[in-house]
Chain A
Amino acid sequence: MPTPDLPTTQISDSVEQLWGLALQVAGCRQCGQAFLVETIRLGQPCPNCACGKLESQPARLTNQPPELVVPFAKTQADVRAVLENFVRGVWLAPDDFNTETLLRRAVPVFWPMWLVDADVVGIWQAEAGFDYQVKSSQESYSNSGWRSREVIETRQRWEPRAGQIVRHYDNVCVPAASDHARLVKLVGDYHLDKAAAYDKARVTHSVMHLPDLPPHSAWPQAQVGLNHAAEQECLKAAAAQHIRNYSVKANYESLNWTQMLLPLVVSYYADDDGKNHPVYINGQSGMIGGVRMASQRKGWRWAGILAGIAVVLLIMGLLLSVVGLIPVGGFLIFVAILVGMAALVPAVWPWQWNRRQQPEKIVSH
């Protein structure tokens, strides 16, 4: 089937007219993502990668305002609790990695999904599964004789089905950001049924992440979504309980692409080398994701202190041994060896911990 006509994006100056907010298009040279931000946020770290700065730039937009928005469900206190839990448990954390810093840098962001409406016109075929019940038995024998117990089992009967379909589907959700899967892995799924109609009051003071997957790039996934919606309806139409090996040869007509906005809180912290690491919090569920780095520098510092103590103890132990206080000197040498060995721990720990943090680990709240 041919690819249907898809909407194009264009350089637009009518953001305020479409979104109802005085927003400016900005981008990050590091990650190449584009955003709609209030002018005040220009020059701040990128809310996607936290590495680059937001700079004013033109971007390609669709000429449709967002249709739905999933509102933030987490308050400042909730976010603080999530961050406290996230920060806790990292021994030798960088100085920058603390609740207050992360909370201060937290930015509310809405990231996009496409909502696709379409008519699916085509022919389908599948195997439809119908549940049926069979009666089985469990028998037991003891001195009192046989006892029988009936067991009802549900099994499936698969039968081929085929037919035509002419159905309209609204709001099939399709990723509009290339790192959609990564973000979902980090912060979990959203309850999209909680989405409400777009209202500028719901998104004020937030950063809008613009789609980097235009409709022609997102179309294959939109097609999968539409086919899945059609599959579920064919299952229903066949009055079956299960469906498998579904295929459809369809034309997609009356396509309409709008956006749905998903709430995200983004913050960041800097590691020893000054490299920023973003932290993402699902604005609906509170699930948090991001890398939790330990400070190698702090590790070396502690290792140095412990090694110094060990050297001092060793010297004292040796001196006391030379002057004849062998038991006390021996004890101090023994303690020096223990402290010297303990000095290895803070040296090695951050390295081991940071290795385990690659790739990004999820800490859910």
Chain B
Amino acid sequence: MLDHPKLAGWQPPSNYQPVPSTLEGITVFAPRPADLVVEEPTTYKCPNCGAATKYDITAGGVACEHCGYTTLAQAQKVGVQAQRSEFTLETLGQAEKGWGLDRRVLHCDSCGAELAIAEGALTATCPFCASNRVNLRQAPSENLRPRFVIPFKITPEIVRQRAREWLGKGWFHPSGLADSSAIDRFSGVYLSFWTFDANIGSDWNAEVGYEREERYYDASDKEWRTRTVIDWRWERGHVVTRVNNLLVAGTARLSHLILEKVYPFNLNDLVTYSPDFLAGWQALTYDITLPKAWEAGKAIMREKAKSACYADIPTNHVRNFSMSADFSDEAWRYVLLPVYVAAYLFEGKTYQVMVNGQTGTVAGQKPVAWWKVWLAMGLLLAPGLLLGLVGLILTAAGVGIVLLGVAFILLIIGVILSIMIYRQAVASEAA
């Protein structure tokens, strides 16, 4: 504050704090940043009985399984209106560093134990006193902490039930797969995701072909006929594509193939981040950094823009297509989304299953009883082959031509169906 009698008694607005001034004789005050307080690791213990507490899906808050004490999670529903961030050079520079890969040691306030927590884990449960802890302190910067989360909505009981139903579906899987006890071991994990938004202004340029009926004289047949010709001409156009809330997984630890099958998440359920949602649940930081995820997001977006350009062309005849895509208003969010993950052993091989913790959609790997697949393919190919054999014999006698034709059609149908079944079986085991 400046020492001058005419300025005596002046106070800055209540939420303002002094900031450095580059000129003597001028003071500068700025609003105090809202999230200046560094979040300390939080330990969840019941204030009533001292037992460990965790986020309870049905209660919608942190609950004690021992005495029933419950507190509602302090969060605000923001949905798709959740604040977005820009791709500032500063943020991108910080994002390049990631969260670090070292194993970290977390001190348990409850029993004093030193806990070694796994790479990328944001939460831990003390093996000595069972207290749950949430820690975000090692985020590379304030705006790279998760700020929004969709809390778990599907309970583990429902997850188990849906997983069994899912395992029981399909005829080419081993019998009794649904009864496997291994599938019971689901872990609820908050996974890191990036959401991206952008406007893409695309200018396309291509040769577009328009079909035209043309009459011509066929000299060999000596009659007029009609044929279709294509007139090519250069055309150009401009298309604006808006992509909102494109989801890109922030973790490479899980199979993206399976993860994308449990999409979509309803981002209207996004709430502001509170460590309460993570209490007693696992949570993983991102290991795919913002720049890398944005590259992946951009690749998806530009293909969308390309499709929009093709859709702008009134015919299917296109050649020498080129386009430019100008990105603007790009924005991102870092969110935590709920997924149940399980891995089970079947005949010595590990299979992964995931369940969307918000919608209950199940996806994953299922073992295949290959003998069933081969048998089905054999049955599909057999009619064509057998009929073809009979047709060949009869052709020798001079009467099997029609039969050979029918056999060929059946064989083609059998081959197509066999390929479909084979691909389905391979995809079922793929991760």
Contact = CB atoms under 8 A, between A and B. Distances in A.
A161 B324 contact: no
A167 B30 contact: no
B10 to A, nearest CB: 6
Given A123-B10, A152-B89, A166-B4, A139 B324 contact: yes
A238 B27 CA distance: 8
Contacts of B179: none
Interface stretch (A54-62, A107-115, A229-237, A351-359): A229-237
B325 A164 contact: no
B7 A237 contact: no
A134 B86 contact: yes
Contacts of B29: 161-163
A159 B31 contact: yes
A133 B21 CA distance: 23
Interface stretch (B12-20, B57-65, B372-380, B414-422): B12-20
Interface in A131-170: 132-143, 146, 148, 152, 155, 159-167
A234 B30 CA distance: 13
Interface stretch (B135-143, B155-163, B266-274, B326-334): B326-334
Nearest to B90: A132
A161 to B, nearest CB: 6
B6 interface: yes
A234 B26 CA distance: 7
Interface residues on B, range: 35 or more
A164 B87 contact: no
B324 A238 contact: no
B419 to A, nearest CB: 29
A137 B23 contact: no
Contacts of B327: 136-139
A122 interface: yes
A234 B22 CA distance: 9
Q: Which of B6, B321, B322 has the most CB of A within 10 A?
A: B6
A161 B298 contact: no
B26 A233 contact: yes
B26 A237 contact: yes
Interface string A162-182: 111111000000000000000
Interface in B110-161: none
A121 interface: yes
Interface residues of A, number: 35
Interface in A218-266: 233-234, 236-239, 251
Q: Which of A152, A239, A251 has the most CB of B within 10 A?
A: A239
A166 B7 contact: yes
A152 to B, nearest CB: 7
B399 interface: no
A255 B30 CA distance: 31
Contacts of B330: 134, 136-137
B324 A163 contact: no
Interface in A86-131: 121-123
Contact of A135 (B2, B7, B87): B87
Given A164-B2, A238-B21, A140 B31 contact: no
Contacts of A135: 87-89, 92
A280 B323 CA distance: 58
Contact of B7 (A123, A152, A239): A123
B25 interface: yes
Given A155-B86, A163-B21, A238-B28, A138 B325 contact: yes
B12 A163 contact: yes
A165 B330 CA distance: 40
A139 B298 contact: yes
Contacts of B320: 143
B87 A140 contact: no
A234 B325 CA distance: 42
A273 to B, nearest CB: 59
A165 B12 CA distance: 13
Interface of A: 121-123, 132-143, 146, 148, 152, 155, 159-167, 233-234, 236-239, 251
Given A161-B28, A165-B26, A237-B27, 19 more contacts: A123-B7, A135-B88, A138-B324, A139-B298, A139-B327, A140-B323, A146-B299, A146-B302, A161-B19, A161-B29, A164-B1, A164-B26, A165-B2, A165-B27, A166-B7, A167-B23, A234-B26, A239-B22, A251-B6
5 contacts: A139-B326, A141-B323, A162-B29, A164-B7, A166-B26
A-B complex: 6 closest residue pairs judged by Cβ atoms: A237-B26, A237-B23, A139-B325, A142-B322, A163-B27, A237-B21
